[in-house]
Chains A and B, each alone.
Chain A
Amino acid sequence: MSDTVISAQNVVKKFGNITAVDGISFDVKKGEIFAFLGPNGAGKSTTIKMLTTMLRPTEGVMKLAGHDVTINRDDARKAFGIVFQDPSLDEELSAYENMELHGTLYSIPKAEREVRIKELLELVELWARKDSMIKTFSGGMRRRLEIARGLLHEPRILFLDEPTLGLDTQTRNLMWDYVKKLSDEKGMTIFFTTHYLDEAEGVAQRIAIIDHGKIVASGTTPELTKQTNTKTLEDAYLSLTGNTTRDEADSGNNNGLNFKTAMRNKNLR
């Protein structure tokens, strides 16, 4: 299976006695756009954090472009770019400086770095603002810059963790058009999470739905609706995950606080 770019086998993640991810397995192929859906606290962010080497799986194996994320960590890291759920730019540096810092961290030679930064900033229409501080940027501009930054080291995989949160429709469309182009033309593998099911339906070639740390269904939108005897992806999703809301503190990501804090807060209640 040489064209598998992302693979997870029986991955478990426990925090103390809470199991956030409970034995999930999946494969994503080269050039595929893969959506990872689930309610708050289902294990989405924990899974992305494990795939992107920020957390170690308690059990199981995860590979990016053939590199085990816990053993060949740096090779795995070079293989992906990521747009985080929360903003992750240095506010007090300029757009160009943020790009430059990223390029240096990924050891891109200076000459090449300069060319690529210009290309990408022109692409996301921020070249004219390259010397402005990030703190003067709007939410949409920041997101565009983060995408440009994630692509700077030419990764084979792009992770997008709720990338369209808080963006206007124009920026969302622009972003997804570009993401589709990356997958079509460059064969880049896209792995994204979202709460907007229309996005998943419109963009993703394959979808996995996770709930309570387990993958409850996966396949294309027609497969999922057929499986659940429903008409739309939203209906399929609701029939698989139920209609109740979830407690955010159970998730690995409590609005940007870490799990330790989340557990502490939980104990206080």
Chain B
Amino acid sequence: MEIIYTLWLRQVRRYYRSGSRIIGSLGQPVLLLLALGYGIGAIYRKAGEGNYLQFLVPGIITQTVLLSAIFWGIIILQDKRFGFLSELLVAPVSRLKILFGSALGGATISIAQGMIVFFISIIFGFRPYDWLLVIPAFGILVLTSLALTSLGAGIASMVDDFQGFQSINNLLIMPLFFLSSALYPLNSVPTALRIVSELNPVSYMVDALRLLLSNQTHFGLGLDLAVIGATFGLCMIFAVNRFNRIQM
């Protein structure tokens, strides 16, 4: 247990010491909130769909978690390239523990980022539907972070160079975000786009958060939880499998 805690602590320490990285990673969600929340919000209201900010914020929180969790994987790549992973791999500790401890740290960072965006959006005028439901919403945030951190860890274990990691992520993060229910309601988009979005697990993460924070849903909480749970399981298997194959 102490080993997992220490590995977790390593990740968290690295995070809170890098002030520039924290500020930098919050730039995008703030920009999205401003440009979309206020920019599109006016048209959205005219179309009779209600308050766009209430609709958008769960999507932006999920996007923040998506970006931060998958990019966290770059630490595994750094450890691999700059040698620290050798130190971990020759220690009398199973790879599973190394992965778990580190990924828990990565998930903690994503959760923190998600919460910061939540508080920022309150400044922007967002109001949770029911403050009590913020607690289960936090649970969704945790599950989502764990699933996406595992995904990031798995990808980072597979690739050997930073450019490769970057391009895989661009090919992955952007579609996962834009082709989900994060930005637009799925019941009013063309069928093709709706089908793609319905196949995207991120849609369900956004949907669950949206139900709990803004009382709006497309799929219903049961289906949301089932898809999030399944995604979490698959991402974990993927991460463990890839991490075990790393050869130094």
Q: What is the interface residue range for chain A against chain B?
A: 35 or more
Most chain A CB within a 10 A radius of its CB, from B10, B82, B91, B93? B91
B151-170 at interface with A (beta carbon < 8 Å): 160
Is B241 at the interface (CB under 8 A from chain A)? no
Q: Are A259 and B91 in contact (CB under 8 A)?
A: no
Closest CB in chain A relative to B31 CB, distance in Å: 27
> Which residues of chain B are within 8 angstroms of A93 by Cβ–Cβ distance?
10, 13-14
Give chain B nearest CB distance to A39 CB in angstroms.
22
Q: Which of A87, A100, A102, A104 contacts B82 (CB 8 A)?
A: A87
Secondary structure of the B contact surface, majority rule: helix
Q: How far is the CA of A104 from the CA of B93 in the complex (A)?
A: 10
Cα(A104)–Cα(B87), bound, Å: 13
User: B81: CB under 8 A from chain A?
Assistant: yes
Q: Is B18 an interface residue (CB 8 A)?
A: yes
Q: In the complex, which residues 5-37 of chain B have their Cβ closer than 8 Å to any Cβ of chain A?
A: 6-7, 10, 13-14, 17-18
Tell whether A229 is near chain B: CB-to-CB under 8 Å.
Answer: no
Whether a CB of chain B sits under 8 angstroms from the CB of A54 is: yes
Residues of A within 8 A of B10 (CB): 90, 93, 97, 101
B52-87 residues at the A interface, CB under 8 angstroms: 81-84, 86-87
Q: A53-B90, A104-B2 are in contact. Are A86 and B83 (CB under 8 A)?
A: yes
CA distance A89 to B85 in the complex (A): 9
Chain B residues whose C-beta falls within 8 Å of the C-beta of A78 in the assembled complex: 92
Kindly provide the distance from the CB of B19 to the nearest chain A CB, expressed in whole angstroms: 12
* A256 and B81 form a contact (CB under 8 A): yes
Q: In the complex, which residues 224-269 of chain A have their Cβ closer than 8 Å to any Cβ of chain B?
A: 256-261
Report the Cα distance A73→B248, complex, angstroms: 17
> Are B248 and A106 within 8 A (Cβ)?
no
Instruction: Given A105-B88, A106-B92, verify A91-B247 contact (CB < 8 Å).
Output: no
The answer to whether B135 has its CB under 8 Å from any CB of chain A is no
Chain B contact patch, size range:
20 to 34
Interface: B89 (CB within 8 A): yes
Complex alpha-carbon distance, A149 and B248, angstroms: 20
A88 and B87 in contact, given A54-B248, A105-B93 (Cβ under 8 angstroms): yes
A153 smallest CB distance to B (angstroms) = 9
Let me know if A77 and B83 touch, CB within 8 A: no
Q: Using CB atoms, name the residue of chain B closest to A159.
A: B90
CA distance A24 to B2 in the complex (A): 39
Residues in B lying within 8 Å of A, measured CB to CB: 2-3, 6-7, 10, 13-14, 17-18, 81-84, 86-93, 160, 247-248
Chain A residues proximal to chain B, CB less than 8 Å: 49, 52-55, 73-75, 77-78, 80, 82, 84, 86-93, 97, 100-102, 104-107, 149, 256-261
A-B contact pairs, 16 of them (CB 8 A): A49-B248, A54-B89, A84-B83, A84-B86, A89-B83, A90-B84, A92-B18, A93-B10, A100-B6, A101-B7, A105-B91, A106-B92, A259-B247, A260-B160, A260-B247, A261-B160
Q: Which 3 A-B pairs have the closest CB atoms?
A: A88-B83, A105-B91, A74-B92
